[in-house]
């Protein structure tokens, strides 16, 4: 039924990797912007407005479309015959857990962006620096699962 996806595999994989790279760039950069935003002074200041604009454009213009494309092309790859054995490949479930966690983190960052807009950020710059590491750790786990396939 899904055999036609095999002929599209190289293109689907390219589009998936491109989407993942774009999404990860945003997931790594937005918390860094929040570090600087948290240090920029009171809400409504000129610098805060600059950060509001940068964060909105990154989130809506890059991160949301890239996350959606990552899921669409990832599901397409998962449906491609012969790529995943759902009964014997454990790596795919770890990858899906990591991607689901990154999706949750993405939406959580979106809510924190709105906190900044309202002048209600409660997270200090130091904690944003630590939170900035979450996507990198998840990406490392995903890469090991996809490339090494340890189980």
Q: Provide the pLDDT for residue 1.
A: 63
Confidence (pTM): 0.94
Please count the structural domains in the chain: 1
Q: Provide the pLDDT for residue 116.
A: 96
Residue 104 token pair: 């949750």
- Closest Cα partner for 120 from 48, 64, 29, 32? 48
Q: Provide the pLDDT for residue 3.
A: 83
Query: How confident is the model over 93-118, as pLDDT tens digits?
Result: 999 999 999 999 999 999 999 999 99
Q: Look at the block and give the residue holding tokens 């959580």.
A: 108
Q: Provide the pLDDT for residue 12.
A: 97
- Closest Cα partner for 108 from 38, 59, 47, 65? 59
Residue segments in the chain with a per-residue pLDDT below the cut of 70: 1
> Which range of residues forms the domain containing residue 79?
4-148
Residue 68 token pair: 């959606």
């Amino acid at each position: 039924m899904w055999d036609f996806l095999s002929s599209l595999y190289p293109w689907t994989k390219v589009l998936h990797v491109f989407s993942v790279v774009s999404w990860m760039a945003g997931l790594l950069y937005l918390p860094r912007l929040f570090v600087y935003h948290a240090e920029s002074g009171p809400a409504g200041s000129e610098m805060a407005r600059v950060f509001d604009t940068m964060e909105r454009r990154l989130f809506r213009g890059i991160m949301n479309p890239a996350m959606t494309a990552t899921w669409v092309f990832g599901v397409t790859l998962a449906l491609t015959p012969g790529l995943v054995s759902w009964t014997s490949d454990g790596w795919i479930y770890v990858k899906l857990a990591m991607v689901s966690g990154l999706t949750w983190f993405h939406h959580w960052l979106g809510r924190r962006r709105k906190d900044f807009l309202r002048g209600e950020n409660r997270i200090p710059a130091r904690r944003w620096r630590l939170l900035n590491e979450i996507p990198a750790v998840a990406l490392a786990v995903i890469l090991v699962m996809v490339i090494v396939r340890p189980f």
